[in-house]
Copies of this chain bind each other. A is one copy, B any other.
């Protein structure tokens, strides 16, 4: 069961060049993505309505897509406009069409009824088109339900254990709790980090980021279905206490340094998902080198998450009757799961207007 009235990250913009058909699975729906002659995104169901062959094995003809099994041709709305050897085209000859938007360096797809697509719901990610930051990015596929990755990203207490050696995170993350507040379609997680990294921390990174004694203010929004947008800023020792561990404001002075990461967890099937991430410092002198260093450490750390989460999924699959035991660290995951549950319930109790796309399910 997935949220449908929602924008999902399907790809990095540059994963979809012209004249290319890209198959994607999102929320258990097979999709084919391409660009029309003007570069505009087209996203159709990746399943011909005739014999159920994948349209991603088809042929682009101008703005249209021809199934290369028996030749049906579909326009960019998914309506069949040609059946070879047959003059009458049945009204049912169409495939679903999905609204898609290119923004913040990502391709976002709306999986609900097209008439309800609202671009204002696209999370304000920071992408490579934002000149304020110097970002690097990567991605990985998980053999796990996407909610297990969401759980991981909404509770950073795991940093003290899973990433003790990569990020060099101290036990402060596990020992103290962040503030977790509900925001529209998500949660906001905020905290000060005042203890130094442990002895495993990458020396180069510590030096470069000046992490020896600085205090870090960390704030992220986590938005349905699985988008993390995090701002981290470093301040001189004593700042946290001076601000009473509250959020630094405009009057509290510029941070010594700052960085931003945008991440997205996109369910493919109930047992697989794709994880997209970018990270990097403020643009400026030395930013490229710092960004390269940061993403290298992140790659190592995210591989640690993957190993743990896929192992967790296997344990769960081995005996699906076993229940989890919620603890105080689970406030973020618990609230975020409730956000998603509520969105799904809302979809089910509020059917779309009769005017909404009837091809929607």
Contacts and interface: CB of A to CB of B under 8 A. Distances in A.
A316 B176 contact: no
B52 A312 contact: yes
B49 A325 contact: yes
Contacts of A85: 157, 174-177, 328-329
Given A30-B318, A315-B47, A327 B86 contact: yes
A253 to B, nearest CB: 30
A50 B327 contact: yes
A174 B49 CA distance: 17
Given A30-B315, A57-B307, A325 B157 contact: no
B312 A53 contact: yes
Given A70-B174, A93-B325, 7 more contacts: A30-B318, A50-B324, A51-B312, A52-B312, A53-B315, A86-B327, A93-B327
24 contacts: A47-B322, A50-B324, A50-B327, A51-B151, A52-B312, A52-B316, A54-B314, A57-B308, A66-B161, A68-B161, A68-B308, A69-B158, A69-B308, A70-B155, A70-B158, A71-B157, A84-B157, A84-B160, A84-B174, A85-B157, A85-B174, A85-B175, A85-B176, A90-B325
Interface of A: 28, 30, 46-47, 49-54, 57, 59, 66-72, 83-86, 90, 92-93, 151, 155, 157-158, 160-162, 171, 174-177, 307-308, 311-312, 314-316, 318-319, 322, 324-325, 327-329
